[in-house]
Amino acid sequence: MRVLLLSDIHANLPALEAVLADAEGSGVESVWVLGDIVGYGADPNAVVELLRKAGASAVLGNHDAAALGRVGTESFNPLAAEAARWTASVLGPESRAWLESLPEVRREHGVTLCHGTLREPLWEYLFTAEAARAHFALQTTGLSIVGHTHVPLLLVERGGEIEALRPKAGERLRLPSTGRACLNPGSVGQPRDGDPRAAYALLDLSEGWFELRRAAYPVSEAQRRIRAAGLPEPLALRLALGR
């Protein structure tokens, strides 16, 4: 089974459209979304609508929870907090109901999905070895997929040792046949690894591989929409930098 992995779309419609077009013809049978569907970008309702139409299986991210008013924005920076308030004010009832239905952790075809880590699904960044060990200690499946950091990553755990690999776009990586793995497909709507192109991944569970991909999209159009919505200017500027 081949799966399209999308994370941290952040209401960036031009980026999501470019990714879906880029993935066309790749034989994708399912779409899995690792959270932060909304927040920062200008098109939360259109993004949710596209994912609903695609029959996506998704988990909740911290920005989604903030837009639903489920968590406070005290730990957000001021720009993120302002974007969360704006998102909450424009979310339509159907988008809201769909986001409300999302769990923090879900299992699909024997794979565990969550936004941050299994220790703290909404908030924790899987950046440190300590967080990775805590995550794997709670992972009961061979493979897990996370988002939240906006940086593509493949972690392989064997006998307590954890190896971190930085996948390159277009490179097909074999999933380990022994040990366990955790993947992060990077961010569709707000990449932070210095490459402004939208990041996403293909995962083939039958053949056992993972491929990171990058899709160029009209960044200026996403920026125009952010400005037209009256969202903070730095949220537009950072898209061009991939930061």
What residue ranges bind Zn ion (CB under 5 A)? 8, 36
Least distance in angstroms from the C-beta of 80 to Zn ion: 9
Residue with smaller CB distance to Zn ion, 41 or 167: 41
Q: How far is the CB of 35 from Zn ion (least distance, A)?
A: 7
Q: What minimum distance in Å lies between the beta carbon of 77 and Zn ion?
A: 12
Cα separation, 159 vs 61, whole angstroms? 30
Nearer to Zn ion, 31 or 80 (CB): 80
Which residue lies nearer to Zn ion by CB, 36 or 157? 36
Q: Which residue is at the shortest CB distance from Zn ion?
A: 36
Torsion, Cα of 77, 95, 118, 173 (10° steps): -100
Closest separation in Å from C-beta 159 to Zn ion: 32
Which residue number, 66 or 219, has a Cβ lying nearer to Zn ion? 66
